[in-house]
Amino acid sequence: MSDSNNSRGDYRIELSGWGLDNAFFTERTELMWTGDGDKQVQLHRALAEGSIAFIRLLSAEPSSGSVPVAYHVDEIVPMDRNGRYQIKLGQLHPRSKQSQTANRASNWVEEEQSPCDINETGMELEAVEVLR
């Protein structure tokens, strides 16, 4: 990143995510990275606080192939007179394996450990009489 803007902490990016209208969008803008680590962007699209956005760094070299990084929307400043929203972002970090298993939505691990026996559950098949 040899661009003169980059010495200030501004980077050309592509931001994608879901807007307030629940439509997926992609917008090219600049990521402003302040000295204290705050990351901000200006977008034409409104995002909800707490939503997730993906940022991919744009490069002059076509072979760079940067990978998108997930961020959450921390704060939104209402639209300015130029029709742009100032959005403060925080980077999302992967969870550890332990925290992923502790907060599972299903209890498939418990089900694997204790196989269900029809006699344990009290459910038995009953004969059904079919009337004609």
Digit-coded pLDDT (tens) for 29-47: 999 988 788 899 999 998 9
pLDDT in tens, 64-112: 678 899 999 999 999 999 999 999 999 898 877 665 555 555 544 554 5
Domains and CATH numbers, the chain: 4-91 (2.30.110.10)
Burial class (CB in 10 A: 0-12, 13-18, 19+), 60: exposed
Q: Say what the pLDDT of residue 34 is.
A: 83
Strands 24-33 and 69-77: unpaired
- pLDDT bin (cut points 50, 70, 90) of residue 6 is very low
Residue 109 makes CB contacts below 8 A (sequence gap 6+) with 101
The sign of the torsion formed by the CA atoms of 42, 43, 44, 45 equals negative
Q: Is the pTM of this model over 0.85?
A: no
Per-chain mean pLDDT for the chain: 77
CA distance 36 to 53: 21
First to last CA, the chain: 81
